[in-house]
């Protein structure tokens, strides 16, 4: 009996490790890297999670060293290995905050644990990023790649109107400087979103397999205490957009915090819409069509402000007016 349980346990660990490694090697599927590990934890507990996570981390390092074996420059090879494993390692670090096994934050609301996981990832990322940027070969290679991408679109038409507009939009630092600025303002927010997706996906998979009810989005409620942080972040973003004040290093904090909080309140706005759909018994097909339309509107310039601003404002409004309670009581 014990041998059967042991073999079953080993099998589950191996499956989680293999699936996680596969996800880590397939582009955008890296955001699902932690889903098998979350699922293993919910099914088997923290011990098996620690074993599987350590195994994934070790194998990722071994695979990265093997993939970069042809790079002659030692410093460049080390940098490439770090780049290869950085995102998966940060995702696994964030996972430990989210599943609530760290004693210091045990019992915190899950949303706050997402915030703390993102902050911890940033604290790890900053020194690693500074180390990588000291590698001249790496930075030169990245800049060359960025310039090549820009040249592929506007190289032959550098004197054209479109080419000049493109150059003026990117500024003196070109595409590499633009991308650096973009990631500085959004990297933590992207990480927060990936953590949220992976955690939610694992819960939906496992809970539905077990016949348990998953918490509905329509019940999601943002703590009222986050109202002032989102207001301050929104003001800071506007100050930076209109160039009213040089925020310096605080720019990255303002933008990342602002995007995260606006997204969270946007979820609350969507939760209110879901409550409206449920109250008036809107068919699922129509509800899904409306939500798909909202997603499509995000990528349409100009119109996307209806979603980017409208949903968070709707969510914030529930701080003063309990819209869902009013809707459900009518």
Position 90 confidence tier, pLDDT thresholds 50, 70, 90: very high
The 3-class secondary structure across 200-261, one letter per residue, is HHHHHHHHHHCCCCCCCHHHCCCCHHHHHHHHHHHHHHHHHHCCCCCCCCHHHHHHHHHHHH
pLDDT > 70 fraction of the chain, expressed in percent and rounded: 82
| pLDDT value of residue 20 | 93
Choose between 77 and 162: higher pLDDT: 77
Residue 150 confidence class, pLDDT cut points 50, 70, 90: low
Q: What is the pLDDT of residues 252-283, one digit of tens each?
A: 999 999 999 999 999 999 888 888 888 888 88
Of the pLDDT bands very low, low, confident and very high (cuts 50, 70, 90), residue 176 is low
* Selected residue with higher pLDDT from 93 and 304: 93
Both structure tokens of 33: 């890297």
Say if residue 161's pLDDT is above 50: no
Q: Which tokens is 202 given?
A: 């694992």
As a whole number, mean pLDDT of residues 227-246 equals 90
Parse the chain into domains and list their residue ranges: 221-330
Task: State the average pLDDT over residues 98-109.
Answer: 83
Q: Check if the beta carbon of residue 57 is closer than 8 Å to that of residue 217.
A: no
pLDDT digits (tens, 9 = 90+) for 277-325: 888 888 888 888 888 888 888 877 777 888 888 899 999 988 888 777 7
Top-confidence residue, 69 or 1: 69
What integer is the mean pLDDT of 176-197? 84
Which of these ranges, 7-16, 136-145, 243-252, has the smallest mean pLDDT? 136-145
| Largest Cα–Cα separation, the chain | 77
Q: With a cut of 90, say whether residue 60 has pLDDT above it.
A: yes
What is the mean pLDDT of the segment spanning 217-229?
87
DSSP 90-128: HHHHHHHHHTT--GGGTT--HHHHHHHHHHHHHHHHHHH
Task: Say yes or no to pLDDT of 1 above 60.
Answer: no
pTM for this model (two decimals) = 0.85
Residue of higher predicted confidence among 161 and 277: 277
CB 99 within 8 A of CB 53: no
Please indicate whether residue 321 or residue 24 has the higher confidence score (pLDDT).
24
């Amino acid at each position: 009996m014990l041998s059967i349980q042991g073999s079953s346990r080993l099998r589950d660990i191996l499956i989680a490790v293999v699936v996680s490694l596969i996800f880590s090697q397939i582009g955008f599927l890296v955001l699902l890297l932690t889903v098998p590990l979350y699922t293993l934890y919910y099914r088997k507990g923290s011990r098996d999670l620690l074993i599987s996570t350590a195994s994934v981390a070790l194998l990722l390092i071994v695979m990265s060293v093997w993939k970069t074996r042809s790079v002659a420059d030692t410093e460049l090879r080390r940098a490439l290995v770090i780049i290869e494993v950085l995102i998966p390692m940060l995702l696994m670090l964030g996972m430990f905050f989210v599943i609530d096994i760290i004693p210091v934050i045990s019992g915190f609301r899950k949303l706050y644990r997402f915030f703390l996981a993102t902050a911890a990832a940033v604290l790890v990322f900053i020194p690693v990023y500074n180390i990588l940027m000291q590698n001249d070969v790496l930075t030169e290679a990245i800049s060359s790649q960025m310039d090549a991408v820009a040249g592929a679109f506007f190289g032959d038409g550098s004197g054209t109107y479109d080419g000049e507009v493109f150059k003026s939009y990117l500024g003196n630092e070109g595409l590499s400087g633009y991308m650096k600025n973009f990631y500085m303002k959004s990297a933590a927010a992207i990480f927060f979103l990936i953590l949220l997706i992976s955690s939610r996906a694992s819960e939906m998979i496992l809970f539905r397999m077990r016949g348990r009810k998953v918490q509905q989005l329509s019940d999601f409620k943002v703590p009222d205490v986050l109202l002032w942080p989102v207001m301050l972040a929104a003001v800071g973003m506007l100050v930076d957009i209109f160039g009213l004040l040089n925020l310096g290093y605080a720019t990255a904090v303002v933008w990342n915090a602002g995007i995260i909080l606006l997204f969270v309140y946007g979820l609350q706005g969507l939760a209110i819409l879901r409550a409206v759909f449920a109250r008036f018994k809107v068919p699922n097909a129509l509800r899904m069509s409306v939500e798909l339309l909202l997603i499509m509107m995000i990528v349409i310039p100009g119109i996307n402000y209806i979603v980017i601003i409208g949903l968070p404002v709707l969510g914030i409004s529930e701080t003063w007016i309990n819209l869902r309670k009013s809707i459900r009581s009518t």
